[in-house]
Amino acid sequence: MYTYDISSVAASVASMLDISAPKHASPAYAPIADKKVDRVLLYNPDAIALWIYGKYRSLFLEAEKRSDFILPARSVMPSVTPVCFGTMYTGASPDLHGIKKYEKPVITIETLFDSLIASGKKPCIVSYGDSSISKIFLNREMDYYIPDTMDNVNSIAMELMREDKYDLITVYNGNYDSVMHKNGPEAEPSIDALKHNIAAFCDFCDLADEVWKGKRYAAGFCPDHGCHLIDGDCGSHGLEMDEDMNVVHMWRFA
């Protein structure tokens, strides 16, 4: 049984920032929640499964060097992006936050973003296009940076880190998921996208060391769900199977 899963993220980050958790959030995970910080960078690469981490661990070595905690985590059903990120940022089950299939309505129950706003802190989201994170957390008194494509999402996020006006920066990258669906989880283009995601997390950690020097911070590598191979050498997810449900989260504290 998992003691840390994606529903633990919301309350854990709230505890790190010393604010109240969202109303319906699952309990925080004490080993990370007890770390008190001033800034949080939540990097959300899509569809990176625990089995991918296990099989291609050599690709993760630089990310491991920057991580204080490497945690296997359990996702929720159905294991599709809006359902899973809905749970990650509310801490609530799909029955409570209301997204129970692949659709992108705005969540109306309390989220981690609402908890920050109520506490006088500033969150922002950096995502792109009509991706789930770009849609399901709208209509809050916070800033959204949503270009049409993913090309400059990470550079925008890095510039915001340098400006240092946000307590929480959420960054979404969906490149591995997109490529994996077309080519399969282990195809060369998919592994190239995975490498990009790992390098991006390392870059965020290194930049945080520079621009948040003198502050306490947390950086999380927090995918939403996993993936599996299907007929036609394509990739998919959404089932209650370990390949889709088990993910790896990494946390750095400084």
Q: What is the CATH number of the domain that holds 115?
A: 3.40.720.10
The yes-or-no verdict on residue 1 having pLDDT over 60 is no
d(CA 244, CA 246): 6
Q: What's the domain count of the chain?
A: 1
Q: Are 10 and 114 in contact (CB under 8 A)?
A: no
CA distance 106 to 238: 21
What is the pLDDT confidence band of residue 2, given thresholds at 50, 70 and 90?
low
pLDDT digits (tens, 9 = 90+) for 95-109: 999 999 999 999 999
Which domain range does residue 136 map to?
34-71+110-253
Let me know if residue 214 belongs to a domain.
Answer: yes
Nearest to 9 by CA among 123, 125, 92: 92
Identify whether 20 is part of a domain.
no
Q: 11 in a domain, yes or no?
A: no
> Looking at the domain assignment, is residue 208 inside a domain?
yes
Cα(first)–Cα(last) distance of the chain, in Å? 29
| pTM beyond cutoff 0.95 | yes
Give the chain's mean pLDDT.
97
Q: What is the pLDDT of residue 151?
A: 84
Radius of gyration (Cα) for the chain, nearest Å? 16
Residue 95, domain member (yes or no): no
pLDDT tens-place string over residues 78-99:
999 999 999 999 999 999 999 9
* Nearest-10 crossing angle of helices 175-183, 188-211: 170
